[in-house]
Amino acid sequence: MKPYGIIAEFETPAAILAAAKQVRDAGYRRWDIFTPFPIHGIDKVMGLKNSLVGWFSLAMGGGAFLSGMGLLWFTNAFDYPLIVGGKPMYSVPMSFVPSYILMVMGGAIGALVGMLALNQLPRLHHPLLKNPRFELVSRDKFMLVIGANDDHFSAVETRKLLESIGGTHIELVEED
């Protein structure tokens, strides 16, 4: 059985935030916290950079906008030129609104797809989800996991560190 990491439980958001700081200061790099809701200030502690989701959304939304403009030009001005009220075959005012609507749709799909892709979801299996106490993460407990693939990881020392910073129910989680 290959170890996945060591999991420790904390009671309050402030406790997990303080624990995260200490784990970071101890030099660990491959660790994560699991919480029932986003914890204010954790981005800074973990050094999380601005999420790329916005770029996914921009790319999809911008692409949809340009495709919309292209579609309107192709259908109403190129493939079947249609004269309506003597107006130009293709103009921005007529094509802006549908393209803008398509931009909203593309941007929204981009945001959802980007979020799922960056989180590597959907995934049907996760080693932590087999741990019975991990079910409490979605309720009122805050968990910290230090990965076995961390350079500093040692089944004894890491456990000691987690004990010293106030973690309870410390367990080794196995990968399978």
Partner 1 sequence: MAEATTNLKSLLPPAELQRPPVVENNRGLGWLTDKLSAFAEGKIPLWWWVFFLPSAFCATVVLPFCLFYQVTTGVGVWGNNHPVMWGLDIVNFIWWVGVAHAGTLISALLFLTRQHWRTTIGRMAEAMTVFSVMMAGLYPAIHVGRAWFDWFMFPVPNSNGLWPQFRSPLMWDVFAVNTYVMVSMLFWFMGMIPDFAVLRDRSTTRVRKAIFSALAMGWTGSANQWHHYEKAYVVLCGLCTLLVFTVSSIVGLDFCTAQIAGWHATIFPLYFVIGAVFCGFGMVLVLLIPLRKWCGLQDIITMSHIDKVAKLALVSGLIIDYIYGMEFFIAWYSGDTYERWVFGHRLFGHTYMVLGWMLIGINVLVTQLLWFKKIRSNLLALFIIGVLINIGMWTERFVIVVGSLYQDFLPANWGKYMPTIWDVGIYVGTLGTFFMLYLLFVKFLPMIAISEVKGATPQGNPHHPLGGAKGGKH
Nearer to partner 1, 48 or 156 (CB): 48
Please identify which residue in 6, 7, 8, 16 interacts with partner 1, judged by CB under 8 A. 16
Nearest to 67 by CA among 100, 94, 113: 100
Nearer to partner 1, 70 or 156 (CB): 70
Q: Does 149 bind partner 1 (CB under 8 A)?
A: no
Site for partner 1 (CB under 8 A): how many residues? 72
Q: Least Å distance between CB 108 and partner 1?
A: 4
Q: What's the Cα-to-Cα distance from 58 to each of 44, 48, 55, 172, rounded to whole Å?
A: 25, 20, 5, 41
CA–CA separation, 56 and 42 (whole Å): 23
Q: Least Å distance between CB 67 and partner 1?
A: 11
Nearest to 144 by CA among 13, 15, 4, 16: 16
Q: Does 66 bind partner 1 (CB under 8 A)?
A: no
Q: Does 135 bind partner 1 (CB under 8 A)?
A: yes
